[in-house]
Amino acid sequence: MVNMEKTTEQMILETARNHFVQYGYGAARMQEIADDAGINKAMLHYYFRSKENLYHEIVIRTLDYLLPRLFKAFKQEGLLFERIENIIDTYIETLIEQPDIPFFVMSELSQKRERFIEELKKRSKHFPPVQSFLAQMAQEMQAGKIKQINPIHLFLNILSMTVFPFIVKPVFCTLFEFSDTAFEQLMLERKPIIMEFIKSSIELK
């Protein structure tokens, strides 16, 4: 069954990821993951040795997929506002596709913070583009093209308005009685709104 390997392994990874995200590492059950993946529990150990290992594998794969994608946006050279627009687009699209990402990251941060930060540092090659993005902001301020503001704050503002709604989605949707599709619609609406918001707050009058 040489070619079912991938499918079984893939199946395990997907199912396990859902369980880890939903219940957290400690509350996720190997038996339930196996049941849900339609396989025997021993298979989990056959493919991944232990729960800890399976989890780690998922973290690695998620980061290896996510970070290049999220940081690519920072790499694009161009006008400052083009870069900003690029970043907003990338984040919103990624988060619409994978709405469980914030929960995954938060769960990591609260339960396995040290190790998660370690994994991030290992991938710090993705980080320089962020620095260059901040540098460009500083440059345009120096050149008197946009308002003076600590680039870190501007950076935080951009990411905040883009990512935060996805984090509080469940509470938001309950309190304001939004359906999943209505929420998605609202997030797509947000792209130009955030751009407009940022533009009018940093361009010189």
Partner DNA sequence: AAATAGTTTAACTTTATGGTTAACATGGAA
Partner DNA sequence: TTCCATGTTAACCATAAAGTTAAACTATTT
Q: Name the residues that contact its own copies, by CB under 8 A.
A: 21-28, 102-103, 105-107, 109-111, 113, 117, 120-121, 124, 127, 130, 147, 149-150, 152-153, 156-157, 159-161, 163-165, 167-168, 170-172, 174-176, 186, 189-190, 193-194, 196-198, 200-201, 205
Beta bridge partners, 203, equal: 146
> From the CA atom positions of the chain, what is the Rg in Å?
20
Q: How far is it, in rounded angstroms, from Cα 14 to Cα 151? A: 38
CB of 38 to its own copies, least distance (A): 23
Phi/psi of residue 203, nearest 5 degrees: -80, 150
**DSSP letter at 144?**
T
CB of 66 to its own copies, least distance (A): 13
Binding partner of residue 75 among its own copies, DNA, none, CB cut-off 5 to 8 Å per kind: none
Q: How far is it, in rounded angstroms, from Cα 196 to Cα 194? A: 5
Nearer CB in complex with DNA: 39/67: 39
Is residue 199 within a helix (H) or strand (E), and if so which, with residue range? helix 180-202
Nearer CB in complex with its own copies: 9/129: 129
Q: How far is it, in rounded angstroms, from Cα 175 to Cα 178? A: 8
CB of 26 to DNA, least distance (A): 8
CB of 47 to DNA, least distance (A): 7
Q: How far is it, in rounded angstroms, from Cα 179 to Cα 112? A: 32
Binding partner of residue 41 among its own copies, DNA, none, CB cut-off 5 to 8 Å per kind: DNA
CB of 9 to DNA, least distance (A): 8
Structure tokens at 129: 């583009």
Binding partner of residue 2 among DNA, its own copies, none, CB cut-off 5 to 8 Å per kind: DNA
